[in-house]
Structure 1
Amino acid sequence: MSKEALDSELKSIIADVLGIDAEQAEALNEESGLFGHLPELDSMAVAGLLTEIEDRLEIIVEDEDVDAEMLETYGGLLAFAETKLSEA
């Protein structure tokens, strides 16, 4: 999967899980804050987001993979997904 395709899919997942509009998700960039910045992304939403990422990207997210840095910014989440896809 190309970085552009992954970026588009990840933004789609975020919009679907958090119930935000596609334009808001599309506006996310590498520095955009996620956890603690998007009110829709609370601790309960994190679990749903990670489950949907696993399902749609066909990757496995282990408990030890999840940390604050990964969820701090959109760029961190994108880099995490790229790494997981390269391991698959």
Structure 2
Amino acid sequence: MNVYEQVLRVLDDALNLQGRTATFGPTTQLLGSLPELDSMAVLALITDLESHFGIAFSDDDLNAEVFATVGSLSDLVQHHLAGQAT
């Protein structure tokens, strides 16, 4: 399972979407388009992503653009994982 697919899985679990992420693509809108993604859910999602991937986001990493689409969220995770590999 690649990083993108894992992000979808964490997103599905964190927001209790019951498999709806199976229809999501990289351009699927999240923040403002997905009612389940409210301010409390954003915090849960961040925590779940950090736990799942063993990474830690800084406050500077997190903004509305990161949560705009599935692709932008996945890019953030991939960026952090690449930073750990160096």
TM more than 0.5: yes
Which residue matches 1:58?
Answer: 54
Structure 2: 5+ residue runs without aligned partners? none
TM-score, normalised to structure 2's length? 0.92
Q: Does 1:10 align with 2:4?
A: no
TM-score, normalised to structure 1's length? 0.90
* Aligned mates of 1:61, 1:82 — CA distance in 2: 12
Q: Does 1:87 align with 2:83?
A: yes
Deviation at 1:28, TM superposition (A): 1.2
Deviation at 1:66, TM superposition (A): 0.3
The superposition leaves residues 29-57 of structure 1 with CA deviations (integer Å, 9 ceiling, x where unpaired) of 11100111100000110000000000001
Identity %: 30
Which residue matches 1:43?
Answer: 39
Structure (1/2) with the larger helix percentage: 1
Structure 1: 5+ residue runs without aligned partners? none
- Off by >2 Å, runs of 4+ in structure 1: none
